Structure 1
Amino acid sequence: MTLPPGNLGLPLIGDTLNFLQDAQFAKKRHQQYGPIFKTSIFGQPTVFVSGSEANLFVLSNENQYFVVSWPPSTKALLGPLSLSLQTGSDHQNRRKLLYQAFQPRALAGYIGGMEDITGRYLQRWTQMSEFAWYPELRNYTFDVACKLLVGIDNSSESELGNYFKIWSDGLFSVPLDLPWTQFGKAKKCRKLLLAELENIIRARQQGTPSKNDALGLLICARDDDGNSLSLEELKDQVLLLLFTGHSSLSSAIASFCLLLAQNPDVMAKIRAEQQQFSTTEPLTLEHLKQMTYLEQVLREVLRLVPPLAGGFRQVIKPCELGGYEIPKGWIVLYEINQTHQDTSVYPEPDRFDPDRFSLERSTNAKPFSYVPFGGGLRECLGKEFARLEMKLFAARMVRECEWDLLPDQDLNLILVPTPHPRDGLRVKFRRKMTSS
């Protein structure tokens, strides 16, 4: 048994800078070495793997060969009590508690709040007419997350929104803790965020218990032994919920807006489907479920531009993968974006083709060949919240608005922390002249 092919790069930093700066980092090395290769990033030997079989092995052997791992900057900024860093039975118990905020009954209760905030932003964007959309979408998803998860309004315009942006931009950075580095600034903002969250949580704990948002549900939640979450844990878990309910969604929604502007034929098909639904009635989960073509489009958006490029796992027991030995203590990075480019599953993988998710064509898909939300025991807890917000936003946009890309802008994607167009997705935006 031999180690995977590849190069560990420079001492200490390895290939970290190339990994953070080159959008084609993994693709180039797969072309050179094949489906599995080794390198060193964030100070640790790391094996990159892609494809449904590798995903199946990594994601179905949680706690046997692998446990979750994150780069040092991410660990420090998420906090020790965050669900994303917990393992084994601790993770399972906490996940069960946090799931209460994302079960179907809770999701149905979020729709009205999502509709209100979406309507307010559509009005704002109509008045702005020409603008960079991605920063606006970050504000939009942050306002939705703060309202529905923590119960606070217009957060993007507050200090909380400012701290949050600096904090999330440092999650995948070189962990050099100095005041002027990206990581140093993010660490300072984590302290400021936690202080704000502590004030919010304490005020809620002293008031009448309310289950109208995720924080209310978590304050009231009890585990199997009847214990509630401590203040310190509530802060870390709420910070994680805000991150997962915001950064990935901003990226996914921006990709939807970009791809629709570039594919008017897909836009026309979505609009035709929307004519089956009344525009005067409020949207419900049942309406959204019936929008099958829109569902295909959103699935294809997440295939072509997955908000997370992959997931890190630490090897706790030596194992064999792809014919190579993976030593204990090494890191494995299972790649979502490269898996979604597998030509044996997705012919012409660079083409935007929502019909590949039609009922006829998607029935033979391999397990773990489509993993925008990860998979296994650690599949994204907020997956249905994200799908709901994406679909509701998409339906409202297509029904009520039109947008065109402005010329002379760089639409190439910056991939860290989540994919977004380099020039911020500059558009000309207007309400539709006639409602359909």
Structure 2
Amino acid sequence: MNIKLSGISEQKLKKAPFFSGGARELVRAPHRFFLQLTRDYGDVVQYRATPESAFLLNHPDFVKHILVSNGRNYNKDTHLNKYMLQAVTGQGLLTSENPLWRKQRRLIQPFFHRRYLANFADLMVAATDETLARLDRYASQNEPFDMANEMMTLTLNIVSRALFGYDTDAQAEQIGEAVNTLIEIAKPKRKRFQETLKVLDAIVFDIIQRRRQRPHAEQHDLLDMLIQARYEDSGEGMSDQQIRDEVMSLLIAGHETTANTLGWLWYLLAQQPAVVSQIEAELEAVLNGRTVTVADFPQLLYCDKVIKEAMRLYPSAWSISRRALVDDEIGGYEIPKGAIVAVSPYTLHRHPTFWPEPEKFDPERFTPEQEAARHRYAYIPFGAGARKCIGDQFALMESIIILPTTLQRFRLQLVPDHPIDEHALVTLRARQGILMTATVR
């Protein structure tokens, strides 16, 4: 694959097929719109459904080029990142650019190492038990509940406690409502958005200031680490504003995406009794009724496959966009300076070349042999390259705790006739939630 960073005039490059229109489809179901574009036009298509045209690229080679091998030529100066996300997260890891991004990533990365994250396992189990206590009450009354909402509450409790310890328990409901409101509105100019953001800011800044006034001797949670971290070059710590931006990034990205993954996971498993039986057999063999621990993770191989397959079909971050800094060539196609390029994990994870029967739920796609044989960038639920999600191991750890802990206690069924519609906003949600009932084992 040729790369032309200094211009593309030296050879005649192909023009991507162009699709004009589709504004209604893009608003109604953008993930399905992208999928249809690739089916109709192939792995490279230029489309205009908004004021700015963009290139949709749908091949693992192109993913590698944009996010890895030539990632320096593509920044996050797009509508989603700059207008919607940055309004909440400021200059946090989610939206900042170099050199600030690289500086912050180096500072924060050690806090997300697997060995350190093991310290949060008990916290995750305790939060899951609280959620299951609610499900137990629903089960005793045969009352339906929104599993998508339960997962939102659960993952927000987990990430809040990982960030702030138990300092925020009294404000957990207020924080949860604020975060969900910001994501659902996703329009920073609206008055309600601004008012909600002020409420959340006040809570976060207050916690930061109180923590600075009574610093711990040891690092107990992620906020302590952010406060105590020091830049190598200057020995200085982060400002309150920068800590706030990183906290907001972790709050938004750290609960919304995992909650969606888990919601879709329960939706899929409710339709797959054979898969559930196989999970139960693994849990009986490995856990025999006891609580899952970090030491059990390597033995929960089928649970791991099930989680990965759910993320294939329903990647929460369903779209990734970048802007080209200079002219480029991808697969023989001309990508001009300033162009928006889009990669959709939702679409990529359904590429028939890499995923036979792509709409079928099949955890056996993730055997070691299948994973080794598949293109490395055919599966990107957490993105790829330098800007791959910093919290990927945290999210996987949550899932591998929540899945077995829940199935040890309950059988879950979908409420008949309740519509389940995919709703692609910033993340991929269920539009009307996921109504379920629970039966105690």
TM over 0.5: yes
Whether 1:145 and 2:159 are equivalent positions in the alignment is yes
CA shift, 1:281, in A, is: 4.7
Instruction: Show the counterpart of 1:302.
Output: 311
TM-score, normalised to structure 1, is 0.91
Counterpart-to-counterpart distance in 2, 1:419 and 1:43: 23
Q: What SS class does the counterpart of residue 346 from structure 1 fall into?
A: coil
Q: Given the alignment, which residue of 208, 215, 220 partners 2:223?
A: 215
Q: How has the CA–CA distance of structure 1 residues 61 and 69 changed in structure 2, closer, same or farther, with 3 Å as cutoff?
A: farther
The answer to whether the 8 Å contact 1:51/1:339 transfers is yes
The answer to whether the 8 Å contact 2:258/2:395 transfers is yes
Whether 1:48 and 2:62 are equivalent positions in the alignment is no
The answer to whether the 8 Å contact 1:303/1:340 transfers is yes
- What amino acid is the match of 1:191? K
Q: Given the alignment, which residue of 72, 95, 104 partners 2:114?
A: 104
Q: What SS class does the counterpart of residue 262 from structure 1 fall into?
A: coil
Q: How has the CA–CA distance of structure 1 residues 92 and 134 changed in structure 2, closer, same or farther, with 3 Å as cutoff?
A: same
Q: How has the CA–CA distance of structure 1 residues 322 and 186 changed in structure 2, closer, same or farther, with 3 Å as cutoff?
A: farther
Q: Given the alignment, which residue of 26, 47, 55 partners 2:34?
A: 26
Whether 1:244 and 2:231 are equivalent positions in the alignment is no
Q: How has the CA–CA distance of structure 1 residues 420 and 84 changed in structure 2, closer, same or farther, with 3 Å as cutoff?
A: closer
Q: How has the CA–CA distance of structure 1 residues 224 and 295 changed in structure 2, closer, same or farther, with 3 Å as cutoff?
A: same
Q: How has the CA–CA distance of structure 1 residues 369 and 155 changed in structure 2, closer, same or farther, with 3 Å as cutoff?
A: farther
Counterpart-to-counterpart distance in 1, 2:72 and 2:119: 38
CA shift, 1:65, in A, is: 1.9
Greater CA drift, 192-201 or 408-417: 408-417
CA shift, 1:195, in A, is: 1.5
Whether 1:334 and 2:343 are equivalent positions in the alignment is yes
Identical aligned residues as a percent: 24
- What amino acid is the match of 2:97? T
- What amino acid is the match of 1:112? D
Q: What SS class does the counterpart of residue 408 from structure 2 fall into?
A: helix
Would you identify which runs of 4 or more consecutive aligned residues in structure 1 move more than 3 Å? Answer: 15-18, 40-43, 61-64, 152-157, 278-282
Stretches of structure 2 lacking an aligned partner (at least 5 in a row): 1-12
Counterpart-to-counterpart distance in 1, 2:149 and 2:317: 18
Q: How has the CA–CA distance of structure 1 residues 203 and 81 changed in structure 2, closer, same or farther, with 3 Å as cutoff?
A: same
Whether 1:95 and 2:105 are equivalent positions in the alignment is yes
The answer to whether the 8 Å contact 2:316/2:429 transfers is no
Greater CA drift, 323-332 or 76-85: 76-85
Counterpart-to-counterpart distance in 2, 1:155 and 1:105: 30
Q: What SS class does the counterpart of residue 44 from structure 1 fall into?
A: coil
CA shift, 1:143, in A, is: 1.0
Q: What SS class does the counterpart of residue 37 from structure 1 fall into?
A: strand
Q: Given the alignment, which residue of 92, 96, 103 partners 1:86?
A: 96
Instruction: Show the counterpart of 2:146.
Output: 132
Counterpart-to-counterpart distance in 1, 2:112 and 2:381: 18
Aligned residues: 419
Instruction: Show the counterpart of 1:201.
Output: 208
Stretches of structure 1 lacking an aligned partner (at least 5 in a row): 10-14, 180-184
Instruction: Show the counterpart of 2:399.
Output: 390
Q: What SS class does the counterpart of residue 158 from structure 1 fall into?
A: helix
Aligned-residue Cα RMSD (Å) equals 2.0
Q: What SS class does the counterpart of residue 322 from structure 2 fall into?
A: strand
Q: How has the CA–CA distance of structure 1 residues 155 and 335 changed in structure 2, closer, same or farther, with 3 Å as cutoff?
A: farther
- What amino acid is the match of 1:421? A
Counterpart-to-counterpart distance in 2, 1:83 and 1:418: 17
Whether 1:379 and 2:391 are equivalent positions in the alignment is no
Structure showing greater relative contact order (alpha-carbon pairs closer than 8 Å, 6 or more residues apart): 2
Whether 1:167 and 2:182 are equivalent positions in the alignment is yes
Q: Given the alignment, which residue of 188, 192, 199 partners 2:195?
A: 188
Counterpart-to-counterpart distance in 1, 2:229 and 2:405: 34
